[in-house]
Structure 1
Amino acid sequence: PKTRLLVLNSPSNPTGGVVPPDEFERILAICKKHNVWLMGDECYSHFTYEPHKPYSIASAAGSKENVIIIGSVSKTFAMTGWRIGYTLGPEALIQALIKLQSQSTSNATSIAQYAALEAMRGPMETVPVMLAEYAKRRKRIVEGLRAIPGVTCEWPGGAFYAFPNISAHLSSAPGKPALAKTCTEISKMLLEKVQVAVVPGEAFGAPGYLRLSYATSIERIDEGLRRLKRFFSRAEAAS
């Protein structure tokens, strides 16, 4: 009863999960019934893989009164270092946010703001090219992770993260001691032993998982997979 805002990140960081439009609209109906704001985090909205399509809850009928959309140019236009984001919502809410934000930060530079406007007003012809490349990397990393002993991985529906389950390496079995107690420990071991950087699932409230980004070259993905396979295969052999 005290809930005032629900945030939905779709496609999701860290899982790559995508909320289907019909489910989004059911959630919106519940939010409206209970007078709860619904915030759609659309930072990865243009990076969705078949059969999913980009979708904004702001396009649903009756969404204008209690929907807030947040986005960024960091992902869609590869402008990470420019630090530009945006918010869409009812005018009264936006005016209140401006009062708060203007007293909290020194604001983005005018150069970055004009660059972001140019990117958003442009033809966006580079976006499908980027998406096609991400799709290739997605296939490579998921198939590679699934080939590693004790690792499972679902296909991400969007964004550019794989979220493999490594819980088999955290549980003990007869004659097979656990590799570690937490994914945080395994993340440190991966960094120290094979120089692979991952984010432990505990950082997202999801123990048993690791987050890997495939926003890098195929060559680096392949090398990372080789190192991961070597690490986990040796762990299997040692047990």
Structure 2
Amino acid sequence: MKVAADATRLRAEGVDVVDFGAGEPDFPTPDNIKQAAIRAIEQNFTKYTPAGGTAELKKAVCERHAQDFGTSYSPAECLITVGGKHVIFNLIQALINPGDEVVIPVPYWVTYKDVVNYAGGTCVFVDTDEQKGFTLTSAMVEPYLTARTKIVIINSPSNPSGAVMDRGEFEKIFQLTRDRGIYLLTDECYCKFLYDSEPFSIASLPGAKETVLVAGSLSKTYAMTGWRIGFGLVPKPIVEAMNKLQSHSTSNPASISQKAAVEALRGPQDSVPLMLAEYRKRRDFVVQRLRAIPGVVCQEPRGAFYAYPNLGVVIGKNGILDTVQLCDRLLAESHVAVVPGEAFGTDRHVRLSYATSMHELERGLDRLHQFVVKNS
């Protein structure tokens, strides 16, 4: 958010900024979804709804998840939230007590660490191997599981690295956590944006519903980031606990957004493969272009819409001590906005979103190339 704010400030001052910081699609929300929201307004669907979402939307979520992944959730096992981040916050607050441990692979989405700390829990970080594309294995996770472990978080495809869990390894991690009575939180925010594999939910395995916690979002799949609709698919007692928290904090997600979400889930899905095809084209260009910069290393993302290049070639040179300073300098001197790796738990990388036009990618990567050459 700081990156976006700084870029916005510079733009307001008339600076030509190329923004690779935004973690949201550059595509418009599909028209059928917007029209559903307009109808909701015209029909005066503008009152409170139940705090945990309408029955109609809960049913639509369960139906879509069943159709896409073969799961069998009921509306009683579903909670509608104010975006995917809200699901994760509510889950952590409902389940984590002081001293509980939460296992988080590195690099991680920034919110995981903060919400665990807010709940008084302890983050246990598991490093992944950059040379192997930041992929996680059960052998990496198992040594970190203790009697205090409450949750293991998996985000596949990953924000920021684009890493995708191997299905076999995902199943092994599920078996490890299930056998120990540990919850497995699967963050499925980018689940439809996979470049070389089919969408999969670990919640589809037999017996998974007792310990698997699904955090989902419509934001990325349907280009609905500003509409703020997320959902959780979890055991009924946890839904009830989360609903109590939500009823005394945000109350219900916006009624109009909920109607739009029903249309997103039940209406045409054509926009999803169209976005994926464009992201694949951009990914291929970005990875090739980054690898052409002397000293820069970039693993190929297998999902989502981020590249996570290693810019260690400039760390420690010309007063650039870390990626925070690197990003500040890159924005100030070359007018390119990216997110520092420190936000995600690593110290030599930046996150670059390619959810923008090819024209902007070309301009921004040319500027990044010149910056790296100048400062390495």
Give the TM-score of the pair, scaled to structure 2: 0.60
Look up the match of 1:44.
190
1:222 is aligned to: 362
Would you say the 8 A contact 2:156–2:188 is kept in 1? yes
What residue in structure 2 maps to residue 57 of structure 1? 202
1:88 aligns with 2:228: no
| CA deviation vs aligned residue, 1:10-33 (integer Å, no higher than 9, x gap) | 000000110111111100111111
Instruction: Determine whether 1:203 maps to 2:343.
Output: yes
Instruction: Look up the match of 1:174.
Output: none
**Distance in 2 (alpha carbons) for counterparts of 1:77 and 1:108:** 17
Whether contact under 8 Å (1:153, 1:163) holds in the other structure is yes
Q: Point out where structure 1 has 5 or more consecutive residues left out of the alignment.
A: 172-176
Residue 179 of structure 1: CA displacement? 5.6
Distance (Å, rounded) in 2 between the aligned partners of 1:64 and 1:200:
36
Q: Deviation of residue 41 (structure 1)? A: 0.3
Measure how far apart 1:108 and its partner are.
1.5
Alignment partner for residue 26 of structure 1, among 157, 166, 172?
A: 172
- Structure 1 match to 2:281: 136
Q: Deviations over 1:71-97 (max 9, x none)?
A: 111100000100110000111211221
State the 1:178 CA deviation: 5.7
State the superposition RMSD in angstroms: 1.1
Query: Secondary structure of the equivalent of 2:149?
Result: coil
- Which structure exhibits the higher relative contact order, with contacts defined as CA atoms closer than 8 Å and separated by 6 or more residues? 2
- What CA distance in whole angstroms lies between the structure 1 residues aligned with 2:250 and 2:152? 24
1:195-216, Cα deviation, whole Å (9 max, x unpaired)? 1001000011111000000001
Query: How many residue pairs end up in the alignment?
Result: 230
Deviates more, 1:104-113 or 1:187-196: 104-113
Identity %: 50
* Contact in 2 for aligned 1:179/1:235 (Cα 8 Å): no
Unaligned runs of at least 5 residues, structure 2: 1-146
Aligned counterpart, 1:75: 220
Partner of 2:246: 101
Corresponding residue of 1:163: 308
Query: Counterparts of 1:225 and 1:97 in 2: how far apart (Å)?
Result: 43
Q: Name the structure 1 match of 2:260.
A: 115
* 2:333 aligned residue (189, 193, 200): 193
1:5 Cα shift?
A: 1.1
